[in-house]
Structure 1
């Protein structure tokens, strides 16, 4: 299998919620189309843009804000520079002008077509963007949203493979490198990251600090917010109440309640369409931030140790993505909250100074007990069961860390690679109605109130 060449900052991306595959990815696709048009020299002046969404982008695109996201991208905004207020205005139907390459065309979310859910494209979540004169197609691009905000373009030339100092495709290969080279896990990831990005180790840590600060800010904003989340479900925020009421409990319950509150807080911010960090997706953007907030604010773990833990979490996310998927549309929520829980468990274990075999065991346990988890958002909104599921994911991550910290190594039977393989196979067998289409499970059992 080819070696993993993903950057830490391709996995952890700052952007608006509520979904990396349905919001950040489509916005990126629209932005790339906007830039591609700028390089065109058309003989015929187009008069309209065709925007078609397929797969779960169509099935749950309204609830995920996919229409406003792709339109924002077409208007020249990328996920890291768009204002939430602008996205909210787009959702309300405000009209703007697509202006690129000397072309000017009126554009709003009303121009987005929610097309076939079942389709024959290479990836279910496909966006088809076309410049047209009447019905004549002058230019088109076909994009695939493959999870975690990652986008593929049909016909795009494969990049020249990055040759990294430490080449691994799974956990067994990474452990062999650590043993042979006498490295700690974060050191190998850091060396590879400097090779990928061409920046210094200090700059990598500076960028990690920006990611960590954004994660903690999403928790803090969620802890201070009240009211009802956007959309027809009428779901009330819970994070602030959980946090405030935790003071009335005993010490053990207080920590557990606060951990839950942090998970709710970041996830509620994501559900509101506010700024979060994909970790590894937006739908799972509450798990790792909750763990980090608890580590630094409740347990006094240093930022240095947390940075190192983040690099380890990234490696776990790389392996899951490389050998299975982190997309709910491909493998269900086991690939989103399940992988996030594994990453958080590994992060907490590593930040607390555990050896790499205990780190692996913690990550494996967390993912193992998310196997088979479906993605069935009620009404297509990243709210029920997504928000509470993030809180459960971070609690399970912490529990996996606790068990791994004291267990006997020789009695642990399942490896991280084995559980990732199980997740991939489970995802293949999972009925499409449980993979982010809102056609099964809670999505049909719970009334869209």
Structure 2
């Protein structure tokens, strides 16, 4: 178990950026931007000597990086782009024309990069993480500077030599590593969950409670804009699969069946597909906790706002409960598809969604824990095997299925006595980690097995 306390910010878990993958798009963009900043700090003599930048990708970044837009994301980062402010259309245009060179400014020197600068290395690379990228500043084959980065899911990036944990010097008012420890703080302080989480967030970020609430509202707004765009946009998604968008059709069906008992589920499916299809198209989405799972929480929160008519304060509380579950999985297992398979992405998102629904409904912390545990329990062993390396099949529909499971987990957790639940959230997260460790790499975002082998049928 990770022995340090959780020091992840709510706004590191919920990050705004372009799809289709937080580990393959947002993470590499951030890593490349960091490398660019480090190049600017080199002595001028080294900068002037440089002739090329080499980009080497390993693990699932190499296996499915093309379909996930990793190449474009790295070029964007080296150009100085940031995930939240990137124009999706401009990002999709990068590297389309192999004749175009992209000038990277290193001090006063301009170095051109293009498709030939990227190396998708399928050979095994000794690394502690599945998604590894190595960036090099070169001079006719001589390496002038080199950095190694690991994209660990959800847009989180570690540079080699730096600890994975966050700012260890921060004195948290309520430090915790497990749900058991979090619950002990709630019991001792007699504070509601949101107050404990906000107190930690204030210590981590220096933001006031008002600023935290405003940013949560902004995150929800980004999520709901993705849903609304997805409900409007029709046509075929980018890539060789030529998958047709389904959300607008489902939404139209739901509106026509508004008096039917099935309309609730059709609306929920439409909302989740809408955000997930926007992600697949490279649109701006919110990692929740990853881009590949960025349809679950947006779909559920949109439903909660439009159909349950929850106010802003209730939605914020639910988002914080969702974040707490995401923190626990990230800290004690992983939210990366390359490490956990899709149980790390959709499984976590569904558990977060179940916690959101349960807390918004005013249920106690033991019910919130039970709902999250049920969701993870029923995603154990789920593979990540995207056809063609695109975040489309089975990823898009899997978001809708995950949201439905989240709603059902909420119903199951609140139908009986949560204290009678035999398996704790902490226990199922341990099982999740062990399952991910035992799972074959063929089923962890490499497109080498499972549904990915059905590509010839599509």
Please, what TM-score do these two structures have when normalized by structure 2?
A: 0.96
CA shift digits 1:378-420 (9 cap, x unpaired):
0000000000000000011011111222212343211111111
Question: CA distance change for structure 1 residues 446 and 89 in 2, over 3 Å: closer, same or farther?
Answer: closer
Q: How many residues are treated as equivalent by the alignment? A: 449
Note the residue ranges of structure 2 that are not aligned, 5 or more in a row.
Answer: none
Tell me the distance in 2 between the aligned counterparts of 1:444 and 1:407: 42
CA shift digits 1:88-138 (9 cap, x unpaired):
110413432101322211122342110135321221211110111110011
Residues 22 and 65 in structure 1, CA contact (< 8 A), matched pair in contact too: yes
Partner of 1:308: 317
Residues 366 and 419 in structure 2, CA contact (< 8 A), matched pair in contact too: no
* 30, 33, 53: which one aligns with 1:28: 30
CA shift digits 1:57-105 (9 cap, x unpaired):
0000000000000110011111112111211110413432101322211
Partner of 2:234: 226
Partner of 2:113: 107
Partner of 2:179: 171
The reply to whether residue 54 of structure 1 matches residue 77 of structure 2 is no
* 426, 431, 438: which one aligns with 2:440: 431
The reply to whether residue 70 of structure 1 matches residue 74 of structure 2 is yes
* 182, 193, 218: which one aligns with 1:210: 218
Partner of 1:122: 128
Tell me the distance in 2 between the aligned counterparts of 1:4 and 1:175: 14
Residues 323 and 420 in structure 1, CA contact (< 8 A), matched pair in contact too: yes
* 251, 257, 262: which one aligns with 2:266: 257
Tell me the distance in 2 between the aligned counterparts of 1:168 and 1:448: 48
Residues 16 and 79 in structure 1, CA contact (< 8 A), matched pair in contact too: yes
Tell me the distance in 2 between the aligned counterparts of 1:323 and 1:144: 18
Note the residue ranges of structure 1 that are not aligned, 5 or more in a row.
Answer: none
SS at structure 2 position matched to 1:51: strand
Greater displacement, 323-332 / 181-190: 181-190
Partner of 1:90: 94
Tell me the distance in 2 between the aligned counterparts of 1:83 and 1:247: 32
SS at structure 1 position matched to 2:103: strand
Tell me the distance in 2 between the aligned counterparts of 1:447 and 1:392: 25
* 16, 19, 28: which one aligns with 1:17: 19
Residues 328 and 335 in structure 1, CA contact (< 8 A), matched pair in contact too: yes
- How far did residue 221 of structure 1 move? 0.4
CA RMSD of aligned residues (A): 1.3
SS at structure 2 position matched to 1:371: coil
Residues 44 and 107 in structure 2, CA contact (< 8 A), matched pair in contact too: no
Tell me the distance in 2 between the aligned counterparts of 1:187 and 1:264: 33
Tell me the distance in 2 between the aligned counterparts of 1:361 and 1:232: 41
Residues 27 and 155 in structure 2, CA contact (< 8 A), matched pair in contact too: yes
Partner of 1:395: 404
